[in-house]
Amino acid sequence: MALDDAIIKYTVWALYFISLYLLIYWLFVMFEYNSPTPKRSIINKEEGVTIILPMWNEEENIGPTLDSLFNSVYPKDKLHVIVVDDGSTDNSYNVAKEYQKKYTFKLIKQKNGGKYTALNKGLESVKTPYFACLDVDGYVDKYAIRNIQKEFTNENIAAVMPIMKVAEQKNMLQKVQSLEYILNVFLKFFISKINCVHVTPGPLSTYRTDVVKKLGGFIKGYNVEDLEMALRLQSQHYEIKQSSDAIIYTKCPATLKGFIAQRLRWYLGSMRNVLITYRFMIFNRKYGEFGIFYIPFVALNGLLGFIGVALVSYLVIRSIYRTLKYWYLTNFDFATYISSLTLNFDILAFNFQMIVTGFILYLIIFLYVYLGYINAKERLNIKGTISKTFLFLYFFFVLKFILAYIWFKVFYRLIKGDTNVWIKSK
Partner 1 sequence: MHREIHKSRHITVLIIATIIFLLGILVGAQVEQFRLEKLEREFREQSRISDEMQAEIEYINYLLDSQRNNGYSCQLLVNSYLDSIKRLDDIVFSLERYESSAITRLEDYSLIKENYFNLQTRYYILGNRVNSLCPNSFDTILYFYTNEKDCPECEDQGLFLDHIKRKHQNNVMIFSFDIQSSVTIVSMLSNNNQVKSYEVPTLIINGENRLDFSNVEIIEQFLEISMEN
Least CB distance to partner 1 at residue 292 (A): 5
Least CB distance to partner 1 at residue 313 (A): 20
**CA distance linking residue 289 with residue 194, whole number of Å:** 7
Least CB distance to partner 1 at residue 62 (A): 41
Binding site for partner 1 (CB under 8 A): 1-2, 5, 13, 16-17, 20-21, 24-25, 28-29, 32, 156, 194-195, 237, 285-293, 325-326, 329-331, 333, 336-337, 339-340, 344, 346, 348-349, 351-354, 356-357, 360
Least CB distance to partner 1 at residue 239 (A): 10
Other beta carbons within 10 angstroms of residue 266's beta carbon come to: 19
Output 21 or 412, the one with its CB closest to partner 1: 21
- Give Cβ neighbours of residue 157 (< 8 Å, ≥ 6 apart): 151, 208, 238, 239, 240, 241
Least CB distance to partner 1 at residue 330 (A): 4
Output 57 or 235, the one with its CB closest to partner 1: 235
Would you say 79 and 204 are in contact if contact means Cβ atoms under 8 Å apart?
A: no
Output 168 or 289, the one with its CB closest to partner 1: 289
Output 356 or 374, the one with its CB closest to partner 1: 356
Other beta carbons within 10 angstroms of residue 79's beta carbon come to: 20
Q: What are phi and psi of 164, to 5 degrees?
A: -100, 130
Torsion angle of the four alpha carbons 44, 45, 46, 48, in this order, in degrees rounded to the nearest 10? 160
Task: Strand 206-208: give its sheet, edge to edge.
Answer: 106-110, 79-86, 49-55, 130-133, 206-208, 157-166, 239-250, 139-140
Output 24 or 172, the one with its CB closest to partner 1: 24
Output 21 or 390, the one with its CB closest to partner 1: 21
Three-state SS at 74: coil
**CA distance linking residue 232 with residue 218, whole number of Å:** 10
Output 339 or 381, the one with its CB closest to partner 1: 339
Least CB distance to partner 1 at residue 344 (A): 6
Please state at what angle helix 3-32 crosses helix 172-193, rounded to 10 degrees.
Answer: 60
Other beta carbons within 10 angstroms of residue 303's beta carbon come to: 13
Least CB distance to partner 1 at residue 369 (A): 19
